[in-house]
Amino acid sequence: MNSLLQLSRRAFLGAALATVASLPALAVEPLKLSPEQQTAVNAISDYLNSFKTLQGEFTQISPKGNMSQGVFYISKPGKMRFEYAPPNPFLIVSDGTWLTIKNVKKEKGDQFPLSQTPLRLVLGNKVDIAGDTNIIDFQDQDGMTTVTVEDKKNTLGSGQLTLVFDQARKALQQWIVTDGKGRKTTVSLENLQAGIEPDPQLFVVKIKRDSKNGP
């Protein structure tokens, strides 16, 4: 795997909930949710189903503590753009079929089928966290619901995804991706605006491919 692809995968891991580098996963029994916990998890799904378009700003903290910032756009079903501010050179775009990770300085990148990434969990027309994932941890304190899941379709590899939901604001505040080695990438969201139609050209991107991935 060349160095660009390695960097691309790391960028995708943080902002787009990517497939993670794997070690053998430890078996974790899914939780049996109480009715109250089920209601809280459904509230997160309801929030994700409450909008067709969403845009805002994000801050990403890498496992080594490096911080990147940028803006993002979502247009369901399947379209997304995560645009990093300099000096981070990466751009992540989903056109509804393919997820493209581009190094804008080099005009190169890679593509992956959207259906094979965890993005399908949040970019579909119908989100069902309880139905689509194994919930392995649940916390409810200080007005925050924190849910840790493993993808039933294994697009998280041996990793886990933690969603942090602000009950008062009724909005997703943060997600944390933990890879198979226990390394955490945290993405915080702010200044969210729903219902604004983004320019369709935001979800169109061209690259010089470094690999045979993609169409």
pLDDT tops 90 at residue 157: no
Tokens 């198979």 sit on residue: 180
pLDDT tops 50 at residue 24: no
Task: Kindly state the average pLDDT of the residues 154-179.
Answer: 84
89-147 pLDDT tens trace: 999 999 999 999 999 988 888 888 888 777 777 888 899 999 988 999 999 999 999 99
pLDDT tops 80 at residue 52: yes
CA-CA distance, 214 to 161, in Å (whole number)? 25
Cβ atoms of 7 and 103 within 8 Å: the answer is: yes
Task: Give the pTM.
Answer: 0.80
Q: What helix, strand, coil percent values describe the chain, rounded to 5?
A: 20, 40, 40
29-48 pLDDT tens trace: 889 999 999 999 999 999 99
Q: Under DSSP, is residue 66 helix (H, G, I), strand (E, B) or coil?
A: coil
Instruction: Give, in order, the Cα–Cα distances in Å from 171 to each of 26, 41, 66, 159.
Output: 31, 13, 25, 24
